[in-house]
């Protein structure tokens, strides 16, 4: 099965900062990579799909890139509501898998 590794596991940043989260797959997944945001006690929210496509209703400060094994999620200017945990997910072959998550905290 494909393993997904996110880095960093946690990150402290300030409102207005530009932040990048990385996700690496154990083998090529082309662009079958999705990103989610999860706030405490809430269901995950789909942010990006197919590596770089912005889900409807998601602010344009979120962007995604990458292909093959290496992917990034970038938040161009952090807003207070962006402090949450972020997960990447692959669904390249039959099974899917999530990264371990990146907790984004206020500095």
Residues within the interface to another protein (CB under 8 A): 1, 32, 34, 36, 38, 43-44, 46, 48-50, 53, 55, 85, 87, 89, 91-92, 94-101
Is 74:20 a contact under the CB 8 Å cutoff?
A: yes
Residue with Cβ nearer another protein (1 or 77):
1
- Minimum Å distance from CB 24 to another protein? 16
What count of Cα atoms within 13 Å lies in the side-chain half-sphere of residue 58?
20
CB of 15 to another protein, least distance (A): 25
Question: Whose Cβ is closer to another protein: residue 16's or residue 40's?
Answer: 40
- For another protein, the closer CB: 16 or 94: 94
Rounded to whole angstroms, how far apart are CA atoms 31 and 17? 27
- Minimum Å distance from CB 20 to another protein? 20
Residue closest to 75 by CA, chosen among 3, 2, 14, 25: 14
CB of 94 to another protein, least distance (A): 4
95 vs 48, 49, 50, 91, 98, CA distance in Å? 19, 17, 16, 6, 11
């Amino acid at each position: 099965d494909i393993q997904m590794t996110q880095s960093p596991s946690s990150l402290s940043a300030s409102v207005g900062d530009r932040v990048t989260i990385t996700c690496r797959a154990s083998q090529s997944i082309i662009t079958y990579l999705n990103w989610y945001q999860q706030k405490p006690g809430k269901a995950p929210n789909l942010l990006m799909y197919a590596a770089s496509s912005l889900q409807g209703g998601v602010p344009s400060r979120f962007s995604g890139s990458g292909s093959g094994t290496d992917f990034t999620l970038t938040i161009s200017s952090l807003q207070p509501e962006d402090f949450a945990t972020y997960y990447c997910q692959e669904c390249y072959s039959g099974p899917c898998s999530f990264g371990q998550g990146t907790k984004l905290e206020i500095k």
